[in-house]
């Protein structure tokens, strides 16, 4: 995709050369880093649309780096790692990853996943023109006590109490539930609706995103608008406390 910037973190120099060249052939601007320090320096000095990162690094633990990065940055993050098993995948999702790809992997598949995620990200950044709301409200989905989701900034905001940042996956899932207008949305519906945009492919990834969203609401507001309907799914409605 022309003009989209990717930050690649991988300690295998041969692999980074192959991946970066492949993505550049599709029009991406790729910046390569091989250490956690170089990666962190790039995040400070430049802007990126998406990150592809390994977990095994010579000077840092990838999961800890992901957790630290998520405190300040909300761009899409794809984990590409040789670590397998549901535990590490779930841990990465809980720390803020948007996708988890195990090695070895298909370069074509990686590019398609990256492209779909970026296309959906751009699409979700646009207001829902089919909504009957007025020009101001079309960018705002009210939650509770003055808090609302802002589609322009892809965050949760309050006129007096500031802003709560969201990752792309968190934002897209919250907006997906809000657009259900209080109806219960099943996990299967979430996976089907967000499989391309938020890379949700299993119940574990849905649960991890719900957990992260609730955790942020509890931290910032003391309450969460996400309601679990036992045996059915989730909806946005009455406020749940910690």
The more confidently predicted of residues 97 and 52 is: 52
* Domain assignment of residue 47, yes or no: yes
The more confidently predicted of residues 102 and 134 is: 102
Could you say which of 100, 124, 148 is where a domain stops?
124
Query: Residue 190: what pLDDT?
Result: 86
**Are residues 109 and 44 part of one domain?**
yes
pTM: 0.65
* Domain assignment of residue 233, yes or no: yes
**Are residues 186 and 107 part of one domain?**
no
**Are residues 50 and 75 part of one domain?**
yes
* Domain assignment of residue 61, yes or no: yes
**What's the pLDDT band for 33 if we cut at 50, 70, 90?**
very high
Model confidence pLDDT, tens digit, residues 171-196: 888 988 988 888 899 888 888 887 65
Question: What does the mean pLDDT of the chain come to?
Answer: 84
The CATH number linked to 204 is 1.10.10.10
Model confidence pLDDT, tens digit, residues 103-152: 999 999 999 989 888 887 776 555 544 444 443 445 788 888 888 888 88
* Domain assignment of residue 175, yes or no: yes
Model confidence pLDDT, tens digit, residues 157-176: 887 777 888 888 888 889 88
**Are residues 142 and 116 part of one domain?**
no
Query: Residue 133: what pLDDT?
Result: 46
* Domain assignment of residue 131, yes or no: no
**Are residues 214 and 146 part of one domain?**
yes
The more confidently predicted of residues 198 and 209 is: 209
* Domain assignment of residue 130, yes or no: no
Whether 199 has a pLDDT exceeding 60, the answer reads: no
Query: Residue 154: what pLDDT?
Result: 82
**Are residues 180 and 72 part of one domain?**
no
Please give, one letter per residue, the 3-state secondary structure of 181-205: CCCCECHHHHHHHHCCCCCCCCHHH
Question: Can you name the residues that pair with 141 across neighbouring β-strands?
Answer: 149
Query: Residue 17: what pLDDT?
Result: 96
Whether 6 has a pLDDT exceeding 50, the answer reads: yes
Residue 180: give the domain boundaries.
137-241
The CATH number linked to 119 is 3.40.50.2300
* Domain assignment of residue 169, yes or no: yes
**Are residues 237 and 150 part of one domain?**
yes
**Are residues 178 and 118 part of one domain?**
no
| Domain count across the chain | 2
Are the CB atoms for 218 and 224 separated by under 8 Å?
Answer: yes
Could you say which of 124, 146, 166 is where a domain stops?
124
**Are residues 90 and 19 part of one domain?**
yes
**Are residues 219 and 188 part of one domain?**
yes
**Are residues 110 and 169 part of one domain?**
no
* Domain assignment of residue 132, yes or no: no
Are the CB atoms for 31 and 44 separated by under 8 Å?
Answer: no
Could you say which of 124, 155, 171 is where a domain stops?
124
Query: Residue 34: what pLDDT?
Result: 96
Nearest to 90 by CA among 206, 227, 219: 206
**Are residues 164 and 97 part of one domain?**
no
């Amino acid at each position: 995709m022309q003009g989209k910037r990717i930050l690649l973190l991988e300690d295998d120099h041969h692999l980074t050369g192959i991946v970066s060249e492949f993505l550049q052939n599709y029009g991406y601007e790729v910046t390569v880093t091989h250490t956690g320090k170089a990666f962190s320096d790039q995040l400070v000095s430049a802007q990126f649309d998406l990150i592809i990162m390994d977990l095994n690094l010579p000077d840092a633990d990838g999961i800890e780096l992901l957790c630290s990065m998520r405190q300040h940055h909300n761009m899409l993050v794809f984990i590409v790692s040789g670590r397998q098993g549901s535990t590490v995948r779930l841990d990465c999702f809980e720390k803020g990853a948007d996708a988890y790809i195990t090695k070895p992997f298909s370069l074509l598949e990686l590019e398609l996943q990256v492209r779909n995620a970026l296309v959906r990200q751009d699409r979700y950044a646009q207001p829902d023109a089919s909504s009957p709301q007025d020009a101001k409200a079309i960018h705002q989905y009210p939650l509770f006590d003055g808090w609302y989701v802002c589609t322009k900034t892809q965050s949760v905001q309050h006129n007096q109490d500031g802003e709560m940042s969201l990752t792309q996956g968190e934002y897209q899932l919250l907006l997906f539930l809000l657009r259900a207008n209080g109806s219960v949305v099943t996990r299967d519906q979430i996976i089907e609706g967000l499989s391309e945009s938020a890379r949700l492919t299993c119940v574990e990834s849905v649960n991890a995103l719900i957990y992260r969203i609730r955790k942020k609401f509890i931290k910032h507001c003391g309450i969460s608008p996400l309601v679990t309907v036992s045996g059915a799914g989730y909806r946005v409605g009455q406020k749940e406390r910690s």
